[in-house]
Amino acid sequence: MKILKLILLSLLILVFLVFTLQNSGFVEISFWGTKGYVPLFLLVLSSVALGVLLPALYFVPKEFFLRRKLSSLEDVATAMKTGFYQRVRKMSEGKGGAAYTFFKAEASYRMEDLDDLVTTEDPYALALAVRLGYPDRAIDKLSAFLEGETKDLNLLKACRDAFFSLGDIEKAVEAQKRVVGLCERWEKDRQRAILAELMALQALNTNSLSLAEKAVDTYRTPYSMAVLLRLLSQSERTKDLRKTFDKVLELGFQNDVLFMVMEDEKTLIKLMDVLREELEALDPNVAALLFLKLNMPSHVEKVKDKLNPTVSLLADTYFSHREQERKCATILQELYTPWVCVCGRAYRRYSLMCSSCGRWLKIRYVGGYNR
């Protein structure tokens, strides 16, 4: 590299010398009535030098300030990366711009400084307060941002999470509709699935069959299908109920869906014929729990040898003649937590959002006792 630079420099000097020697003749120049003579090569070279110097006067200070800003941002990012959050906040204090406010909010979040997050007017900091588990402290300020035509996905998702946690499903649906409209293609399907489940929950709360159908049209998830089954059963649409359950089997959702509708005995009774026919397609543990619920001990016997030890024990105690054992069965049922989130938190019933880690649609039916 050094040799290349040396060759280039030598070539440049050579060109310069040749140019000087061949253009050393004097030319006449005049400026405001004053005349003079200068060598031609000097005139050309000074024009070139002036052409470089004048823009440099403008660009050099600008570059100096840009470099200083970049180096300061690099320092903040390094402090953030290495875990010096107090330093990040000090360095970002009083500075505007998306980068500094982002780092400052992230630092407060990592320090779990809720007061700092909720006293700002920064939507990102408020979204982090929700993620920290305090939707009630951020919701008023967050809602104010919703009134405008915001295109901030983090803000919209935080509003959805906060409204859901506080039980306002209608507003959570509204926020999620805007998320679906705005989000990038890579997460479109996932966000539509979340919208479908939120709409299904709203349908269940308001007993609205049409909304449950819209939810399934938006996206087919075990939960949206389970809600549709429950509402079809309530409105006595037996044919559609069977058709929907066939779709559930086709999608392989049967175990999750049946566990979700288990509390609703009416739906289970209406599905009884098809359940008997499709017994092979069901997880024996789910089937046994369904038959327990429907008080059908002879059906439980059919799958008895395929049960896991906990459901088997539950089956033994559930129909016992001894009161003590029946009480034991009730407690076993209470402790049965077959739904598990990817973060490890176990649930008795399905939930759309994990209250522990804040993730959506990550709670899966795995069966058994989990803690």
Residue-wise DSSP of 196-257: HHHHHHHHHHHT-HHHHHHHHHH---HHHHHHHHHHHHHTT-HHHHHHHHHHHHHHT-HHHH
Task: Report how far apart, in Å, the C-alpha atoms of 31 and of each of 3, 35, 36, 37 are.
Answer: 45, 7, 9, 11
Minimum distance from residue 361 beta carbon to Zn ion (Å): 11
The CA distance from 210 to 202, in Å, is 11
Of the pair 9, 366, the CB lying nearest Zn ion is at: 366
Stretch that binds Zn ion, among 5-13, 87-95, 188-196, 355-363 (CB under 5 A): 355-363
The region of 51-59, 112-120, 242-250, 335-343 touching Zn ion under the rule CB under 5 A is 335-343
Residue 144 or 357: the one with the smaller Cβ distance to Zn ion is: 357
Q: How far is the CB of 354 from Zn ion (least distance, A)?
A: 3
CB-nearest residue to Zn ion: 354
Nearer to Zn ion, 67 or 364 (CB): 364
Q: Does 341 bind Zn ion (CB under 5 A)?
A: yes
Does 354 contact Zn ion by CB under 5 A? Answer: yes
Q: What are 368's two structure tokens?
A: 């058994």
Q: How far is the CB of 222 from Zn ion (least distance, A)?
A: 17
Q: In angstroms, what is the minimal distance from the CB of 118 to Zn ion?
A: 23
CB of 336 to Zn ion, least distance (A): 19
Whole-number minimum distance, CB 90 to Zn ion, in Å?
A: 34
CA distance to 167, 311, 330, 366, 370, per residue, from 336 (Å): 25, 9, 10, 11, 8
Please work out, in degrees rounded to the nearest 5, the angle formed at the alpha carbon of residue 84 by the alpha carbons of 81 and 89.
100
- Residue 357 binding Zn ion, by CB under 5 A: yes
The per-residue b/e assignment along 161-186, b for 16 or more CB within 10 angstroms, e otherwise, is bbbbbeebbebbbbbbbbbbeebeee
Residues in region 245-284 near Zn ion by CB under 5 A:
none
Helices (H), the chain: 2-22, 40-81, 85-92, 98-110, 114-118, 123-131, 135-146, 153-165, 169-182, 188-206, 209-218, 222-234, 238-251, 254-261, 265-270, 272-277, 284-293, 297-303, 309-318, 323-335
**Interface region with Zn ion, contact rule CB under 5 A, candidates 64-72, 102-110, 160-168, 338-346:** 338-346
> Considering the complex, what minimum distance in angstroms separates the CB of residue 355 from Zn ion?
8
Single out the residue of 24, 349, 356, 364 in contact with Zn ion (rule: CB under 5 A).
356
The number of residues that bind Zn ion (CB under 5 A) is 6
Considering only residues 27, 66, 70, 343, which one is a binding residue for Zn ion as defined by CB under 5 A?
Answer: 343
User: Apex CA 281: angle with CA 279 and CA 283, to 5°?
Assistant: 85
Closer CB to Zn ion, 178 or 345, in the complex: 345
Collapsing DSSP to helix, strand or coil, 79 comes out as: helix
Among the listed ranges 28-36, 52-60, 189-197, 342-350, the one in contact with Zn ion (CB under 5 A) is 342-350
Using the rule CB under 5 A, give the single segment among 102-110, 165-173, 208-216, 345-353 that binds Zn ion: 345-353
Closer to Zn ion by Cβ: residue 137 or 345: 345
Stretch that binds Zn ion, among 66-74, 82-90, 304-312, 341-349 (CB under 5 A): 341-349
In this structure, the strands spanning 34-39 and 346-347 are unpaired
Please give the residue ranges that form the binding site for Zn ion (CB under 5 A). 341, 343, 345, 354, 356-357
